[in-house]
Structures are given as C-alpha cells and as structure tokens.
C-alpha cells in the first residue's frame, strides 16, 4: 500500500482510501471529496471506538444529554417552585421519597439537579458555539491573510489571553447585570482567544502546503481556498478543540453562577451551589445539598474532556506520527 | 580474535501497527584496525545496526542474534557490564552533532563526563585530557567552555569525535558523521577521521548513504538493502566492479567529474525503497532491478561468493561472471 | 537579536499590554452608570443640583479624552478611586487585603509547583506505568472539578466533620475571632486557619503542574543527546537528573509561572468559601455590593500581576537558557 499523491489535499485523518464501488458513472470532484470524507469519518469512528477513555466519556455524556432532554419526564418542573405541593420538609437528608434530600425551601435536590442539567449544558454549548465562531473567523483571517491583519488580530488575541479569566468575566458580568445572555456572552468573550490561536497555527501550517499553492496558481479565489481546502482540513482539529472548550465553558458557567452572576430565573448547578453555600449548607453538614450538583459538574466536564482528548489523539496529525 | 563479530542480527521495532522488521539477519566482521563501510538508502536499517550494537534502541525493540565484542556478547551482558563496555571498547560518533549534544551543558563537561564515569582519571587530569582531545581534532582547547550552540556544525562534529576518542576505544561506530554538514566541511571531517584512524589504529564501522565517501576511507564495504546485506567485500572491488545490481546503481548515483560515462544523463533507480512491513516476495530488490529475470520474484538469494572475501546476494552471481557490463576500473575517476 | 534587545522588547510589550488594560478599564466603567449617581445611591432626597455638583467635582463633565488622561495620571499616583461601599479610597481597601492573598497564593503555588514537578518527573520517566496513569486520572479529575465545590467538600470533611471525617480545622477566617494572640501564637493561629484553603488550592492546581512537567520531560527524552548520554555509559539515574531534567525544567518553569491567571481566578472563589480576608473575598463581596471602583481597582491589580508574571517568566527563561542568554 503506497501513499497516494496528494491531489485535492489530504484530510488529516485519512491516508489513501479506496472506494470499492461497482462500475458506475464517473463522479464529480465534489462527490469524490464527499465520499472520501465519509470514509474518513467512518475510519475515525472505528478508531474512536477502540479508545476506552473516549467511549467512557461518550457514555457519560449520553446519560446527561438524556437527562437534559427528558427532564420534564424525570422530575416535574413544579418541583422547582417552593410553593409546589411536592416540596417536603426543609433540609432533609436523603430518604426514599427524596433520594437526594431537600434544600432549605423543601425542594427535592434531585429535581433541582435534574433540571440544572438543561441550563448548564445549554449555556456550555451555546457559548462554545459563539466562541468557536469568533475564534475560527479571527484565526482564519489572521492565519490566511497574514501581514497587518495578522499582527493586529494577534495582538488583540494575546491581550485577551493575558487577562485572567475570572476578573474579566466578573467585571463584564457585573456591568451587564446577571442574566442568561450575560453569562453566555461573557464566556464567549473570554474564551475565543485560545481557539483563535489554535486555528491560526493550523491555518499557517496549511497555507504553505503544495496543494494550496497549486490551487492558487490555478486561479482559485480566496473564498474557494478557504472553504474547500483550508476549512475541511482544519475542521477535525477545530472539532476536538470545540469539545474541550465546552468543558471549560460549563466550568466557567458554574463559577459565575456561584458568584451570583448567573441567570437568576433558572436553576443551574452553579446556582444550586450558590444557594447551598449562601444558606450555610457546608457548615451545617448538609452534604446532600452540596455533593450532587458538584458531582454532576465534574462528570459532565470530565466526559467532554475525555472525548476531547480522545479526538485529539485520533485526529492530531502530529500525534499520529508515532 | 575478531574485534567485532555480529551473527544473524535481527531487529524488530514495536509500533502501533505491529512489529516492523528493520534488520533481517545481518552478519558483520571487523578486525582490529579495519575500517568497514556500511552503505544503503534511508530506511535500509544501517542506523538501526549502530544502535543495536550497544543496545541503545528504544525499550521494547526486539533484538536477537549475537554481537561479540572482543569475544563478549553485548546482547547478553548485564546492565552494569554493558555500561562499562559502552564508550570504553566501542564509542559512537552520531550525526547531527548539534542535537546529539546536551544544549545546556558545556562541551568540555560533556567530554569529561565520559572520562569520569569510567574512572579513567580524576577531575583535574580529565580536564587536561579534554584539552588534548580537542587539539587532536583540530579545535582550540579554549572551546572547552563553549556550549554546543556557540559552535558551528563542523566544530560540533569535531567535538563528537573528540568525545568518541575520550576513553580510547578500539572500535568507533561513525553513524552518518558527515551527512548533516556542508560539502567543504564534510571533506575536512572525513580527512580528520582518516588521519585519526590511521594514527590511532582504530577499527571503524562507517555508516553512510554516500558511497563515494566510503571508497576513500574504508578497507571493506557492505551494502544494505531492506534490512539485509546484499553485497560485501573489498572496498575497491565492491565499488568499481559491483557484483550486485543495487550496488551498481548506488555507485552510479554518485557521478564523478571527468569520467566518460557520466557525460550523459545521471542515472538513478526507479521507485522507492520498499516499506519494511510490505516487502516484495523473492529477491526484495527485484521490482527495481534492471537485470531481474523470471526467477527473481520467486527466490530470495543468499549471499553467494564472488571471490574468497567478496559476496553478493544476487542470483546472477551464482552463475554469471562477477564483472558486469561497463564496470568502472580503479583509477578511472581519480 | 541580542539579549538586551530581546529583554527591552519584552518590557515594552508588557507596558503596551498594561496600557490596553488601563484603557479597557476606563472605558468599560464609564460606559455603564454615572459614577456620581452610584456614589449618592442610598442617600435619599438628593437634588439634581447636588448630583451635578458632584459630577463637576469628579471631573465627569469634562470631555472623555481629558477624563482618560486624568484617569491615567491618577492611577499612576496610586489613586484608584473611592469605594462606594467602604467610603474609603480604593487603594486603602485593597492594601488592607493584599497580604492574606499573597500568603495563600504564594505558599500554595510553591507547594503545587514543587510537588507537581517531582510527580511529573516520575510520570514522564515511567510513562504508562500505574503511577503515571493514576496521576493522569487524578489530574483529569481535579481539572474537571470546580475548586469551590472541592472547597465545600473539604470544609464538610475536615472542618465540620460530616460522617466519618474528623473536624480538625476551623471553618474559615484568618484568625480566631475574639482571641488576641501575639507573636508566635498568632502565627500558629493563622497557619491553622490557612491549612484548608491552602490544601484546596494546592490540590486543585497540582495536577496541571505535573502534566506540564511530564510532557516537557517526555519531549526531552526523545532528543538525540539522551541517546548519546546512554551510549557513553551514563547510569540511568544520571541520564534522568543530569541530562533530561535540566533541559525539561526550563520550559516547565516558565509555563508554571504563566498559570498565575488561573490561580487568581481560583483564589477568588476559595477565599469566599473559607472567608479568607484577601483580595479574592473582596472581589466576591464587591460583586454583591456593586462596588464598581473597587472592582475596577482589583481588575487592574490582577491584570497587572499577570502581565508582570509573564514578563518575569520571559526574563527568567532568557536568563537560564544558555542558548538565549548568549544572544
């Protein structure tokens, strides 16, 4: 098996893949590229399955996604309201009726934790989406065009990177006032620099590859080069990076909520901890109000991190050399 | 007694994709003060041999066979004995000296370290010896205080050579000592190696892919292909009268100015060396061989005698004359 | 470029970044409420005139660029504004809280770095071993865990004594309230109160440092000069500590210093949890009280610290690495 000469460019995860198709009409370049990518994705999945860490992360994440989606079925939302009849005695340790005990308003901690899944995950995912969008755009422009654009953008990126996260987040969130959108905005604003850095580095290394230069010599427009050649090859690495960013975003959300800067209207794991600490739960020994939401955070962040590392192991061309 | 006697050396690397055979049964003999050249393209296994002889390959690499150094089998040595033997009986001159030297340690200290750990001298005496070694390789003794990055490539290579001489070994393995250098510097370093070998009566295993270099320096030549030795004999014979088609092609790839047959296009070999995991059947060279015939894809030739101390692994040697068409004659490209 | 030029350029870069921070700080807070109104908040029945008079006093009626220049001048003189809540100059408020934080961050960083390096070396040297894998798992876990939650667990375990755990330490604060210890006794008292927050901070970042050292060592072990050292007959122990570690330590140290930003973020919530009267607790309470001037001052201080730390890391690296030192 000899490596095939690069033509439209190697996808980072796929060396020569032979598409065993029966006789059929000649395919367009787009179809070939798409088929190649599908095969590459299949290969990645097959390798991913072998990665124990990645699979464990996927299972844990799957569990939490399930909980987030089916929250109303698993625990009635009425349980979030202290005046709801389902509330019980205050600050009770776990019993059969309230498997994780109750908080200071008599609400079931299990219900709170289940519903907290939604906000924590949504904030994590949405803020990451924005982060990646900004980061990719800036990283692409800086890496691809270079020159003054790169200097200015990189200077901006470096500045953001130097500033410690929480003080900046606190400053912004305090000014904007605590709300669902504030948290998302603040997390995105403070997270995009590292994504931009990674993307730019990748773009820089791809820019000088022969197939890009060849394409340009053939008269390809910038847009074509970016969307057809650079993005698809940066794609896998962006994906791994994104997953790790979600993990961080969820941690950030919990911290901001804990400090009182989160969404006051909805329950997230961070706000549960904010309430429990504010009510003196740790000092009173009310461990059932403290452990579950924190454990949930740990598990979800852990799952995203494990998935991210597994993907990085598989997709990162540098690591694959061994 | 033969200084170095390697029998049936086999090296398999362990990779994620399974074991990779880098060396597939190699025999080597070097006598005292003899210089053996080992040549071949990248990936043929020659550098692996250098590492294998002193057990420097990555952990988990499978090395079998016997490596008799002054009668003792290196592969069977206990760690303490191995460490004592390293550098004192055999040392290595690595390629790319800049990376083979510790960047945060002065070069003098690095040479001294070799002397000190083998208890060959006290600190003060070692220091003096290092000065002498540097002079021997053509460097001013004050260079002792320098860091590797303060020296040029050629100077670093000289430091490597000085270091290799530090414990007075009887055998030096030179693993591509000139490859990373400019041509002019290459010539200087080669000259130095030749002189040192002559003056000190050193035995040398000279590994390189540049055949023309070997002819000057070596008494005997061994040519490697795909993990095996395919030809081995007196340097002049192997280079000028190559019995194996691969040797022929390799020698032809280094054109000499003034020689008639190079006035036309430079020759080369089609194709690439085979992947160790994917070797062709029969004679591993047959897909690229201009003289391959029907038997070649089916029979894996052993080393046949061309003459008493000259062997080649080619079916043509078995039954045909040792001298191929258009062979060069010694002296024709001087 | 020569070392001198390299250092000067690094210092200039740091100053430039600092300038950005100042500008950012200024415009951000001017963009939100009017400081005069905020200052007078809580006082009822203030006439429009009084507000305007205060505005004039604070120089808020001047054009923005002039205000900025004024702001920069004031900042360099150490005047960081007036706290809404404490009715004291911000610099006074902050100064009173610096020492506890420096103590906490300083000691825990030292401990985390020292331990992390030691562990990381063992991990890198015995890659794939149970020790390595166990430590990697530990690092993964502590990375995924909010430090304040861990703090709460530690309080419950070792300060309150929930379940099988012993109550060994105070639940918070800097010193025992009411007691007036002096000298040595006082020091012991403070140390006693510091044990738990110190423990939490150290454990929270220990993993990161060990990971950094581990990768640095692994990279170094792949270098050619390690093979040379072995070939010379150097003992394994000396190959590790004499050749590999000195090379691996350099980048590790600088990357470690660069972690300061994360440590600062962590100390804010930890001080809140343990009621440790430092800058972190001040930050958390100022958020509650919407005390903008104090937050502004703290933001400036935190950012400046990280910028200076980065500069120190650069300078340190260039001093220690002979390749850079030579210029």
Q: Is B128 helix (H, G, I), strand (E, B) or coil?
A: helix
Measure CB to CB from residue C243 to each of B84, B102, B149 and give the nearest one: B102
Count how many residues are written for chain C. 327
**Confidence band (pLDDT; 50, 70, 90) for A22?**
low
Per-residue confidence (pLDDT) for residue C10, from 0 to 100: 84
Residues of A with CB under 8 A from a CB of B: 1, 322
Q: How far is A288 from chain C (nearest CA, A)?
A: 11
Quick one: closest CA in A to B274, which residue?
Answer: A2
Asked whether the beta carbons of A40 and A14 are under 8 A apart, the reply is yes
CA dist A254 and A267 (Å) reads 11
Select from A53, A164, A244, A290 the residue whose CB has the most chain C CBs within 10 Å, as the one to mutate to test that interface. A164
Nearest to A282 among C32, C155, C290 (CB): C155
pLDDT tens for C172-230 read 888 887 777 778 888 888 898 999 999 999 999 999 899 999 999 999 999 999 999 99
B104 to C235: CB separation less than 8 angstroms, yes or no: no
Tens digits of residue pLDDT in C151-174: 999 999 998 888 888 888 888 888
Query: Is some CB atom of chain A closer than 8 A to the CB atom of C105?
Result: no
- For residue B117, give how far its alpha carbon lies from the nearest alpha carbon of chain C (Å): 7
- Phi, psi (rounded to 5 degrees) for A95: -130, 180
- Say what the pLDDT of residue C318 is: 80
> What average pLDDT does the structure give for chain B?
85
If 0-12 CB within 10 Å is exposed, 13-18 middle and 19+ buried, where does residue C121 land? buried
- CB contact (8 A) between residue A294 and residue C17: no
Is residue A206's pLDDT more than 90? no
Looking at the predicted structure, is the pLDDT value of residue C90 above 90? no
User: Quick one: average pLDDT of C258-273?
Assistant: 91
Put simply, the answer to whether C156 touches A290 (Cβ < 8 Å) is yes
pLDDT at A140 over 80: yes
**ipTM of the shown complex:** 0.86
Q: Give the chain A residue nearest C160 (alpha carbons).
A: A283
Closest Cα of chain B to C296: distance in Å? Answer: 44
Asked if the model's pLDDT at residue C47 lies above 50, the reply is yes
B304 C-beta neighbours (distance < 10 Å), count? 18
Q: CA-CA distance, A84 to A105, in Å (whole number)?
A: 10
For residue B48, the distance in angstroms to the closest alpha carbon of chain A comes to: 17
The residue of chain A with its CA nearest to that of C145 is: A298
- Average the pLDDT over A42-61 and give the result: 88
Pairing assessment for the beta strands B203-208 and B171-175 based on DSSP bridges: parallel
What is the model's pTM? 0.83
pLDDT digits (tens, 9 = 90+) for C273-325: 999 999 999 999 998 888 888 888 899 899 999 999 988 888 888 887 777 66
Q: Which of B15, B16, B278 is closest, CB to CB, to A1?
A: B278
Which pLDDT value is given to residue A155?
83
Nearest to A283 among C149, C153, C171 (CB): C171
Q: Which helix (H) or strand (E) holds A27?
A: none
Residue C32: the pLDDT is 60
For A262-282, b/e burial (b = at least 16 CB within 10 A) is bbeebbbbbbbbbbbbebebb
CB contact under 8 A, C326 and B118: no
- Is the CB of residue C292 less than 8 Å from the CB of residue A174? yes
> Residue A2 above 60 pLDDT?
no
Q: Give residue C41's pLDDT band: very low, low, confident or very high (50, 70, 90).
A: low
Q: Provide the pLDDT for residue B267.
A: 60
Q: Mean pLDDT over residues A25-34, rounded?
A: 74
Tell me whether residues A162 and C160 touch, CB distance under 8 A.
Answer: no
Residues 264-283 of C with CB under 8 A from A: 264-265, 268-269, 272-273, 283
The pLDDT-based confidence of A213 (bands split at 50, 70, 90) is: confident
CB A120 within 8 Å of CB A254:
yes
- Best to test chain C binding among A91, A167, A189 (most C CBs inside 10 Å): A167
Question: Which residues from B are below 8 Å from A322, CB to CB?
Answer: 15-16
Residue of C nearest to B50 (CA): C231
pLDDT confidence band for C234 (50 / 70 / 90): very high
Measured between beta carbons, the chain C residues lying within 8 angstroms of B114 are 232-233
CB contact under 8 A, A322 and B278: no
**Contact between B147 and C323 using a beta-carbon 8 Å cutoff:** yes
Q: Which helix (H) or strand (E) holds B101?
A: none
Classify burial at A285, counting beta carbons within 10 Å of its beta carbon; exposed 0-12, middle 13-18, buried 19 or more: middle
CB atoms B99 and C323 under 8 Å: no
pLDDT for residue A320 is more than 50: no
**Gyration radius of chain C over CA positions:** 24
Tally C-beta pairs within 8 A across A and B.
Answer: 3
Residues in chain A with CB shorter than 8 Å from the CB of C17 are: 158-159, 162
* Number of other residues whose CB lies within 10 A of the CB of residue C32: 13
Q: What does the alpha-carbon distance between residue B286 and residue B274 come to, in Å, rounded to a whole number? A: 11
Tell me which residue has tokens 């000057």: B216
Confidence of residue A106 (pLDDT cuts 50, 70, 90): confident
pLDDT tens across C271-280, in order?
Answer: 999 999 999 9
Instruction: Please report, for residues C245, C254, C320, the alpha-carbon distance to residue C315 in angstroms, rounded to integers and kept in the order given.
Output: 20, 9, 9
* DSSP letters for C126-169: TTTSHHHHHHHHHHHHHHHS-HHHHHHHHIIIIII--TT----S
Q: What is the pLDDT of residues B65-90, one digit of tens each?
A: 999 999 899 999 999 999 999 999 99
Of the given ranges (A81-90, B243-252, C136-145, C306-315), which has the lowest mean pLDDT?
Answer: A81-90
What subunits touch chain B, counting only 3 or more CB pairs under 8 A?
Answer: A, C
CB-CB under 8 Å, B15 with A1: no
Q: Which residues 84-103 in chain C show a CB within 8 A of chain A?
A: none
Residues facing A320 on adjacent strands:
none
CA dist., res. C206 & res. C141, Å (int)? 12
Mean model confidence pLDDT for chain A: 81
Residue B11 is given by DSSP the state E
pLDDT one-digit tens code per residue, A215-248: 777 777 777 777 777 777 777 778 888 999 999 9
Residues of A in contact with C303 (CB under 8 A): 162-164, 167-168
pLDDT class of A128 with cuts at 50, 70, 90:
very high
What is the pLDDT at residue C146? 94
> Shortest CB distance from B100 goes to which of C225, C247, C321?
C225
Tokens of B15: 């990779």
Give me the residue from C223, C227, C233 closest to B117, CB to CB.
C233
Cα–Cα distance measured from residue A295 to residue A290, given in angstroms and rounded to the nearest whole number: 9
> What tens-digit pLDDT sequence spans chain B (334 residues)?
789 999 999 999 988 778 888 899 999 999 999 999 999 887 788 889 999 999 999 888 999 999 999 989 999 999 999 999 999 999 999 988 888 999 999 999 999 999 999 988 888 999 999 999 999 999 998 889 999 989 988 899 999 999 999 999 999 999 988 887 888 888 888 889 889 999 999 999 999 888 878 888 899 999 999 889 999 999 888 888 888 888 888 887 766 555 555 555 556 677 778 888 888 888 888 888 888 888 888 888 888 888 888 888 888 877 554 444 444 444 444 3
**C-alpha triplet C318, C319, C323: angle, nearest 5°:** 60
Q: Which residue of A has its CA nearest to C17?
A: A159
pLDDT at C82: 77
Helix or strand or coil: residue A53?
A: helix
Other beta carbons less than 10 A from residue C41's beta carbon: 12
Distance CA A282, CA A278 (A): 10
Burial of C320 (0-12, 13-18, 19+ CB in 10 A): middle
C266 vs C172, residue with greater confidence: C266
Burial readout B262-295 (b: 16 or more C-beta within 10 A, e: otherwise): eeeeeeebeeebbebeeeeebbbbbebbebbeee
Number of neighbours of residue B130 by Cβ within 10 angstroms: 27
Q: Which residues of A touch B16 (CB under 8 A)?
A: 322
CA atoms within 13 A on the CB side of B175: 26
Average pLDDT, chain C: 85
Q: Does position A5 have pLDDT exceeding 70, yes or no? A: no
- The alpha carbon of C45 is separated from its chain's Cα centroid by a whole number of angstroms, namely 43
Write the DSSP symbol of residue C89: B
Task: Find chain A residues with C-beta within 8 A of B15's C-beta.
Answer: 322
pLDDT of residue C60: 66
Contact criterion met (CB < 8 Å) for A322 and B16? yes
Q: Chains with 3 or more CB pairs closer than 8 angstroms to A?
A: B, C
C306 with A163: Cβ contact below 8 A:
yes
The answer to whether residues B224 and B39 touch, using CB atoms and an 8 Å cutoff, is: yes
Partner C contacted by A290 (CB < 8 A) = yes
């Amino acid at each position: 098996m000899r490596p095939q000469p690069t033509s439209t460019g190697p996808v980072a995860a796929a060396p020569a893949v032979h598409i065993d198709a029966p006789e059929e009409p000649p395919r367009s370049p787009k179809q070939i590229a798409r088929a190649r990518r599908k095969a590459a994705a299949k290969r990645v999945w097959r390798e991913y399955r072998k990665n124990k860490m990645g699979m464990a992360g996927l299972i844990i994440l799957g569990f939490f996604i399930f909980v987030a989606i089916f929250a109303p079925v698993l625990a009635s939302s009425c349980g979030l309201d202290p005046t709801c009849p389902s509330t019980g005695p205050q600050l009770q340790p776990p019993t059969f009726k309230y498997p994780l005990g109750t908080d200071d308003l008599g609400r079931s901690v299990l219900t709170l934790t289940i519903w907290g899944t939604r906000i924590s995950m949504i904030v994590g995912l949405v803020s990451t989406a924005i982060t990646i969008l900004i980061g990719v755009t800036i990283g692409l422009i800086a890496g691809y065009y270079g020159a003054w654009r790169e200097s200015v953008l990189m200077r901006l990126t470096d500045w953001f990177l130097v500033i410690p996260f929480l003080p900046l987040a606190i400053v912004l969130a305090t000014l904007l006032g605590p709300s669902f959108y504030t948290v998302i905005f603040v997390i995105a604003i403070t997270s995009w620099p590292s994504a931009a850095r990674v993307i730019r580095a990748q773009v820089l290394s791809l820019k000088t590859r022969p197939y890009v230069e060849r394409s340009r010599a053939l008269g390809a427009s910038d847009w074509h080069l970016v969307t057809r050649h650079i993005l698809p090859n940066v794609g896998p690495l962006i994906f791994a990076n994104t997953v790790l960013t979600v993990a961080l975003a969820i941690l950030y959300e919990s911290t901001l909520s804990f400090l009182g800067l989160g969404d006051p209207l909805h329950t997230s794991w961070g706000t549960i901890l904010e309430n429990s600490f504010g009510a003196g739960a740790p000092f009173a020994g009310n461990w059932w109000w403290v452990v579950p939401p924190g454990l949930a955070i740990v598990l979800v962040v852990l799952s995203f991190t494990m998935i991210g590392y597994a993907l990085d192991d598989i997709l990162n061309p540098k690591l694959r050399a061994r | 007694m033969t200084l170095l006697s390697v029998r049936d050396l086999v090296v398999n690397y362990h990779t994620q994709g399974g074991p990779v055979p880098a060396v597939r049964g190699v025999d080597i003999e070097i006598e005292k003060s003899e210089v053996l050249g080992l040549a071949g393209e990248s990936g043929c296994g020659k550098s692996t041999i250098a590492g294998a002889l002193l057990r420097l390959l990555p952990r988990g690499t499978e090395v079998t066979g016997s490596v008799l150094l002054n009668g003792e089998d290196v592969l069977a040595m206990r760690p303490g004995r191995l460490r004592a033997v390293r550098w004192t009986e055999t040392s290595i001159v690595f390629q790319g000296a800049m990376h083979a030297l510790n960047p945060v340690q002065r070069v003098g200290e690095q040479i001294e370290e070799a002397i000190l750990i083998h208890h060959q001298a006290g600190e003060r005496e070692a220091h003096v010896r290092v000065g002498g070694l540097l002079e021997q390789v053509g460097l001013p003794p004050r260079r002792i205080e320098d860091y590797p990055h303060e020296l040029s490539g050629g100077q670093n290579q000289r430091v490597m050579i000085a270091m290799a001489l530090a414990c007075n070994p009887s055998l030096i393995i030179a693993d591509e000592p000139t490859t990373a250098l400019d041509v002019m510097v290459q010539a200087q370093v080669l000259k130095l190696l030749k002189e040192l070998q002559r003056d000190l009566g050193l035995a040398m295993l000279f590994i390189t892919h540049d055949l023309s270099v070997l002819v000057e320096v070596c008494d005997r030549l061994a040519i490697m292909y795909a993990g095996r030795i395919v030809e081995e004999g007196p340097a002049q014979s192997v280079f000028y009268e190559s019995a194996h088609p691969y040797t022929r092609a390799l020698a032809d790839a280094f054109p000499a100015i003034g020689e008639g047959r190079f006035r036309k296009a430079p020759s080369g070999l089609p194709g690439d060396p085979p992947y160790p995991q994917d070797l062709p059947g029969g004679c591993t060279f047959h897909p690229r061989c201009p003289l391959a015939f029907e038997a070649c894809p089916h029979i894996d030739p052993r080393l046949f005698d061309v003459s008493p101390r000259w062997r080649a692994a080619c079916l043509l040697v078995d039954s045909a004359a040792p001298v191929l068409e258009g062979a060069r004659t010694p002296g024709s490209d001087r | 470029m020569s070392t001198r030029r390299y250092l000067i350029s690094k210092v200039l870069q740091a100053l430039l970044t600092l300038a950005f921070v100042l500008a950012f700080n200024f415009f951000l807070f001017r963009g939100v409420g009017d400081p005069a109104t905020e200052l007078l908040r809580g006082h009822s029945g203030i006439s429009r005139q009084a507000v305007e008079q205060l505005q004039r006093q604070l120089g808020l009626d001047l054009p923005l660029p002039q205000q900025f220049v004024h702001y920069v001048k004031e900042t360099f003189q150490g005047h960081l504004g007036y706290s809404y809540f404490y009715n004291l100059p911000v610099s006074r408020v902050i100064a009173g809280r610096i020492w506890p934080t420096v103590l906490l961050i300083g000691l825990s960083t030292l401990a985390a770095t020292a331990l992390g390096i030691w562990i990381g070396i063992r991990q890198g040297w015995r890659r794939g071993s149970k020790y390595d894998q166990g430590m990697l798992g530990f690092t993964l876990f502590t990375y995924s865990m909010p430090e304040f939650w861990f703090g709460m667990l530690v309080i419950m375990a070792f300060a309150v004594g929930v379940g099988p755990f012993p109550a060994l330490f105070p639940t918070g604060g800097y010193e025992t309230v009411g007691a007036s210890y002096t000298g040595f006794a006082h020091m012991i008292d403070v140390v006693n109160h510091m044990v738990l927050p110190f423990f939490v901070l150290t454990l929270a970042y220990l993993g990161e440092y060990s990971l950094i050292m581990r990768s640095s060592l692994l990279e170094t072990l792949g270098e050619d000069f390690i093979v040379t050292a072995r070939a010379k007959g150097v003992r394994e122990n000396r190959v590790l500590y004499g050749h590999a570690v000195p090379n691996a330590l350099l980048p590790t140290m600088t990357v470690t210093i660069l972690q300061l930003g994360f440590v600062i973020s962590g100390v804010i919530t930890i001080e809140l949890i343990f009621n440790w009267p430092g800058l972190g607790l001040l930050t958390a309470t100022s958020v509650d009280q919407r005390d903008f001037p104090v937050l502004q001052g703290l933001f400036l201080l935190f950012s400046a610290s990280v910028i200076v730390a980065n500069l120190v890391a650069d300078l340190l690296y260039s001093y220690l690495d002979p390749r850079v030192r030579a210029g």
